[in-house]
Amino acid sequence: MRTYFEPEDAEAFQAAKDLLIRRCAAWADDRGHTVDPFVLAAALDFRHHSIDGRLGYWTTGLVEKFLLSHAPRTLSITAQDAVDLPETLRLLVRYLHATGLADPTGDPLADLDAAITKTGAAFPTAMADERNFGPAKFWVMTATRHGVDPTDGPTMGAFLEDARAGRVDYDDEVLAHIAARHAGEEFDRTERAVAQLPVSLPPEAELASVAEHIPVVVRLRALVGWIGDGRALTTTGNIKLGDARELVQLLDTGDTLDPRIGEHVSRTRSSTELPGLTHLIELAKKIRLVRVVKNKLVRVAKAAPLLRDSLALWTAAFDALPTLELLVRPDSWAAEHTRMLDRILDEVLPDVLNTVYGLPEPIPVIRLAEGVWSACTEAFYLDALDPATAARWREGVGADLRRLLGLLAEFGAVELTVGRPDPMYRADLEQDEPEQLPPDAKDRLRAALDVGADPVELVSLTPLATRAVRAHLLLEGRYAPLVGELSDAEPAQLLGMIAEHYSPEMAEAEIAGWLTTHGGRERGLPRLLDGVRGCPFRTRAAAMLDVLAQTAPDRSAFLHELRADQRLGPIVTQMLVDDGEISLDELSPEEGLRAMTEQFIHLLEIGGPDVVADALAEIPADQAHDTVAALLTSGHPDPTGLDELRTLAHAQLGEGRPGRAAVHPLAGVSRSNHRHGKRKGRR
């Protein structure tokens, strides 16, 4: 049972969604509650079709967004029919926590419960307000109000034609409001972000110690100290030339005063000719350390705490970088390709940093350069450039990127080296996929990254920048796991998250940290094993146990010790067979039968009832009856899985009819009928 699926993995997500709905409904029924499968499906779709796609991740903000924005906009049911929607969401969230599927980086259950209660009070009004509808829902609800069945294609088509012809009564102002809002949302559509690998960071105190000595932090503090009670500016609002000369020396900005070109000395006439100093002052203004008052540069009193906190000061300066003119100096000449890149730098720079973030090895700069050039070709119309000019511009953009990375290195954000790249950076160049780079870009990369090629420039993020980029990712709603953040998680949550999102190396570090926090391996390991035993989904339990076995000093010995475990035995048997540790011939009849039952339950969880029904349909009827009877009496430790197999087998074979039943009980995961019309297939 996974809680994360790539957008293109639609079938696997649908099977998991059906399973979750089926199990959640049964769980709620056992406790005297009723859930609406339609609402459960809508909530799971809401999380799947999000920037991070984590089904088990819920926060108070997401609760509010689902109840007051998403549901009113997309669910084509009346406010009266949706009256129980908040309570169904509450039961889903409680179920996720009860089964260990809840993402531990989300908000605590008590906070979510309170948010559902608070937001639920405003939900009926939000659901009834037509101005909150999406365009599709507006017409579906309008058609329903006029007695038209929206699921009847021809009838609905005729209704819409009548609407266009002015023969349908509806609120023009409401529709105009919806259309205007929808048009704006087209430019703010949330798409699934690339999944990020877990990162490891030094302690905050260590990072603060590093930031203390970063030149930009030292210079900003010195600048504010120099300003004192205020410094007068020129009539044009710039630093006076005399002050600028003093600051260049004091702050070591790297600017050259009165530069000599051959035999000629070019006198510096304005502080604006000093890019290092200009950028530093603009940066100080941007992060509100200083401001201009009555043509004087003065300190911002409220910034005193920020100045004292070196880590916060560096981070604030780093966050302001994309908004500064890093490539093009004001009122100065720059190549066309440089101006082009500078215009989209606020988008390109975060993309570059996000690309480098979390990579286990430094990435070749040339790979970033090809990506940046692709961004330029998408943002600007460059087809009119002749091949020679296009090549020159592309090389120029690459040089601009290298200059930008140099600035970031001085800033303490990246580390630049020269060496041979890790093979991972050329492994994908032989793949022929639609979303890959253009053929000419691939050819250039193959040549530059060939095993026999010269060493290339490499770049990686510093821990300071990794911390700052991660904060940005989290702010965007993306998942950016950090080794150590699960140290207080419940065992099932810990192992489930690691199984879905962590590399083997990071998994070992995360589990080791958790064990240290919980009394070491001797005390912590039994708790982790109990977490696996308590997982109600066998596929998830298998993934959790596999992760735990990978971190064991001796995987084989670890698994063999668990072979006789009543709850874990069938999973362990399958793992030992897959590892080549034992053969099927070595299994006792009882062990082999439980292992076969395990496989059927896995098939049911991953593929769904139809896949199991197909498997049974391929077996001769008399053998199928015997097989199912043996599975159900195998002594397998998963009663829920056995009950579902029993229900499915009864529908498939119960009355002796071969072939698949027209409808089996496990297939109905959403209501097809409701008091005010059909729900199935509407959102």
What CATH number is attached to the domain comprising 297?
Answer: 1.10.10
Q: What is the DSSP string of 154-193?
A: HHHHHHHHHHHTT-S---HHHHHHHHHHHHHHGGG---PP
Three-state SS for 322? Answer: helix
285 and 377, same domain (yes or no): no
**Any domain includes 327:** no
Q: Which of 201, 223, 255, 205 is CA-nearest to residue 510?
A: 201
How many structural domains does the chain have? Answer: 4
Q: Which of 323, 216, 341, 328 is CA-nearest to residue 277?
A: 216
**Any domain includes 328:** no
**Any domain includes 679:** no
How does strand 290-293 pair with strand 414-419?
A: unpaired
The partner residues of 419 in beta bridges, in order of sequence, read: 456
**Any domain includes 677:** no
Query: Residue 292, Cβ neighbours under 10 Å: how many?
Result: 12
The partner residues of 261 in beta bridges, in order of sequence, read: 264
Query: Residue 598, Cβ neighbours under 10 Å: how many?
Result: 25
The per-residue pLDDT for 235 is: 92
| CB neighbour class for 170 (10 Å; exposed up to 12, middle 13-18, buried from 19) | middle
227 and 312, same domain (yes or no): yes
**Any domain includes 5:** no
Which residues constitute the domain of residue 349?
336-475
The per-residue pLDDT for 619 is: 86
Q: What is the DSSP string of 566-588?
A: TTTHHHHHHHHHHTTSS-GGGS-
97, 492 contact by CB (below 8 A): no
526: phi then psi, degrees, rounded to nearest 5: -60, -35
Structural element, H or E, at residue 37:
helix 37-48
The per-residue pLDDT for 438 is: 83
305 and 355, same domain (yes or no): no
504 and 604, same domain (yes or no): yes
Q: Which two tokens stand for residue 168?
A: 């349908």
Q: Give me the average pLDDT of each 10-residue run along the chain (683 residues).
A: 94 95 96 96 96 96 96 93 96 98 97 97 94 92 91 91 90 90 68 90 96 96 95 93 94 87 83 89 95 95 96 96 75 84 91 94 95 92 91 94 94 96 87 70 90 93 97 94 95 97 93 96 96 97 97 95 96 95 92 94 93 87 88 95 91 55 41 35 33
243 and 279, same domain (yes or no): yes
**Any domain includes 3:** no
Helix H segments across 56-134? 60-65, 71-74, 85-98, 109-128
653 and 595, same domain (yes or no): yes
Q: Which of 56, 92, 14, 118 is CA-nearest to residue 494?
A: 56
Q: Which of 547, 543, 590 is CA-nearest to residue 571?
A: 543
The per-residue pLDDT for 399 is: 95
The per-residue pLDDT for 679 is: 34
Query: Residue 582, Cβ neighbours under 10 Å: how many?
Result: 17
134 and 243, same domain (yes or no): no
366 and 274, same domain (yes or no): no
The per-residue pLDDT for 432 is: 64
Structural element, H or E, at residue 310:
helix 310-319
The Cα 31–Cα 28 span in angstroms is 5
Q: Which two tokens stand for residue 111?
A: 């906070």
Q: Which two tokens stand for residue 348?
A: 């390109």
The Cα 683–Cα 669 span in angstroms is 15
The per-residue pLDDT for 672 is: 34
**Any domain includes 110:** yes
**Domain stop point among 475, 509, 525:** 475
What angle, rounded to 10 degrees, do the helices at 336-343 and 345-356 form? 80
The Cα 628–Cα 619 span in angstroms is 11
289: phi then psi, degrees, rounded to nearest 5: -85, -35
The partner residues of 417 in beta bridges, in order of sequence, read: 458
**Domain stop point among 319, 347, 377:** 319
The Cα 134–Cα 672 span in angstroms is 22
The per-residue pLDDT for 330 is: 63
Range 192-213 burial, b when 16+ CB lie within 10 A, else e: bbebbebbebeeeeebbebbee
Name all contacts of 174-183 with Cβ < 8 Å and 24+ positions apart.
174/130, 174/131, 174/133, 174/138, 175/138, 177/131, 178/130, 178/131, 178/133, 178/134, 178/135, 178/138, 179/135, 182/134, 182/135
Residue type, 597: T
274 and 415, same domain (yes or no): no
pTM of the model: 0.87
**Domain stop point among 445, 475, 505:** 475
**Any domain includes 484:** no
The per-residue pLDDT for 595 is: 94
73, 134 contact by CB (below 8 A): yes
Sign of CA dihedral 300, 304, 310, 315: negative
The tens digit of pLDDT for each residue in 222-247 reads 999 999 999 999 999 999 999 999 99
The per-residue pLDDT for 625 is: 87
Q: Up-side HSE of residue 33: CA atoms within 13 Å toward CB?
A: 19
The per-residue pLDDT for 255 is: 86
301 and 397, same domain (yes or no): no
CA dihedral 535, 539, 543, 545 (to 10 degrees): 50
Query: Residue 553, Cβ neighbours under 10 Å: how many?
Result: 7
Measured at the CA of 551, the angle between CA 549 and CA 554, to 5 degrees, comes to: 70
422 and 544, same domain (yes or no): no
The Cα 329–Cα 274 span in angstroms is 10
388 and 354, same domain (yes or no): yes
